Amino acid sequence: MSTEHLDVVIVGAGLSGIGTACHLERDLPGTRYAVLEAREDLGGTWSLFRYPGIRSDSDMHTLGYRFRPWSSATALADGPSILEYVRDTAQEYGVEEKIRYGHRLTRASWDSDTQLWTLELPGQEPLTCSFLLMCSGYYRYDQGYTPDLPGLERFGGTVVHPQLWDPEMDYAGRRFVVIGSGATAVTLVPAMLEDSEDHGAAAHVTMLQRSPSYVLSIGRTDPVAEVLSRWLPRSVADPLTRTKNIAQIIALYQISQRFPRFVRGLLRKATQAALPEGYDVDTHFNPRYDPWDQRMCMVPDGDLFRAVRSGRADIVTDTIETFTEGGIRLASGQELEADVVVTATGLNLQMFGGAEVVVDGEPVHLPDTMAYKGMMLSGVPNLVYMIGYTNASWTLKVDLVAEYVVRLLRHLRDHGLGVAVPERDPDVEEAPFLDFGAGYVQRSIDELPKQGTRAPWRLAMNYAIDAVALRRSRVDDDTVRFVPARAGRVPEAERAAG
Domain ranges in the chain are 4-142+348-497, 152-343
Which of 430, 423, 472, 478 lies closest to 450 in space, CA to CA?
430
- CA pair distance 168, 410, nearest whole angstrom: 48
Tell me what pLDDT residue 270 has: 95
Q: How much of the chain exceeds pLDDT 70, in percent?
A: 96
Is the pTM value of this prediction over 0.85?
A: yes
Q: When comparing pLDDT for 318 and 430, which is higher? A: 318
Write the pLDDT tens digit of every residue in 240-250. Answer: 999 999 999 99
Instruction: Indicate the fold that domain 4-142+348-497 takes in CATH.
Output: FAD/NAD(P)-binding domain (3.50.50)
What CA–CA distances, in Å, run from 417 to 131, 421, 484? 12, 12, 4
- CA pair distance 419, 116, nearest whole angstrom: 9
Residue 329's H or E segment, with its range, is strand 327-330
Cβ(336)–Cβ(179) below 8 Å: no
Which amino acid is it at 358? Answer: V
- CA pair distance 29, 406, nearest whole angstrom: 11
- CA pair distance 426, 179, nearest whole angstrom: 44
Tell me what pLDDT residue 436 has: 62
Q: Is the pLDDT of residue 389 over 80?
A: yes
What CA–CA distances, in Å, run from 473 to 373, 415, 434, 477, 480? 11, 18, 23, 8, 13
pLDDT band at 376 (very low <50, low <70, confident <90, very high): very high
HSE-CB at 433 with a 13 A cutoff on CA atoms is 27
- CA pair distance 289, 279, nearest whole angstrom: 21
Tell me what pLDDT residue 496 has: 37
- CA pair distance 356, 85, nearest whole angstrom: 32
Tell me what pLDDT residue 438 has: 63
Which amino acid is it at 186? Answer: V
Rg (CA), the chain: 24
Tell me what pLDDT residue 441 has: 67
Q: Is residue 166 helix, strand or coil?
A: coil
Two domains, one topology: 4-142+348-497 and 152-343: yes
Class of domain 152-343: alpha beta
